[in-house]
Amino acid sequence: MTKKEKVKFVIKTLEDLYPKIHIPLDHKDPYTLLIAVLLSAQSTDKGVNKITPKLFEKADNPYDMVKLSVEEIRSIIKPVGLSPMKSKGIYGLSKILIEKFNGRVPNDINELEKLPSVGHKTASVVVSQAFGTPAFPVDTHIQRLMFRWGFSNGKSVKRTEQDAKRLFPKILWNKLHIQIILYGRSFSPARAWNINNDVIMKKIGRKSILKKLNYK
Q: Could you read off the pLDDT of 65-115 as tens digits, one per residue? A: 999 999 999 999 999 989 999 999 999 999 999 999 999 999 999 999 999
Give the helix/strand (H/E) hosting 191.
none
Residues of the chain with CATH 1.10.340.30: 30-131
DSSP state letter for 41: T
Given CATH 1.10.1670.10, say whether it is the number of domain 3-20+137-212.
Answer: yes
Q: CA separation (Å) from 158 to 37, 121, 164?
A: 19, 10, 10
Q: How confident is the model at residue 216 (pLDDT cuts 50, 70, 90)?
A: very low
The CA dihedral of 205, 177, 8, 157, to the nearest 10 degrees, is -50
Cα–Cα distance between 54 and 62 in angstroms, integer? 15
Cα–Cα distance between 181 and 117 in angstroms, integer? 23
Note the pLDDT of residue 42.
Answer: 87
Which of the residues 26, 108, 139, 175 is marked catalytic? Answer: 139
Note the pLDDT of residue 207.
Answer: 58
Q: Could you read off the pLDDT of 153-195 as tens digits, one per residue? A: 878 999 999 999 999 999 999 999 999 999 999 999 988 888 8
- Rounded to two decimals, the pTM is 0.88
**DSSP states of 8-42 as a string?**
HHHHHHHHHH-SS---SS--SSHHHHHHHHHHTTT
Q: Could you read off the pLDDT of 84-97 as tens digits, one per residue? A: 999 999 999 999 99
Using an 8 Å Cβ cutoff, are 21 and 182 in contact?
A: yes
Contacts of 66 (CB under 8 A, 6+ apart): 91, 94, 95, 98
Establish whether 3 is a catalytic residue. no
30-131, superfamily in CATH?
Hypothetical protein; domain 2 (1.10.340.30)
**What is the residue-averaged pLDDT of the chain?**
92
Establish whether 139 is a catalytic residue. yes
Residues of the chain with CATH 1.10.1670.10: 3-20+137-212
Cα–Cα distance between 128 and 111 in angstroms, integer? 14
Q: What percentage of the chain carries pLDDT values higher than 90?
A: 81
Which of the residues 6, 60, 86, 121 is marked catalytic? Answer: 121
Note the pLDDT of residue 210.
Answer: 56
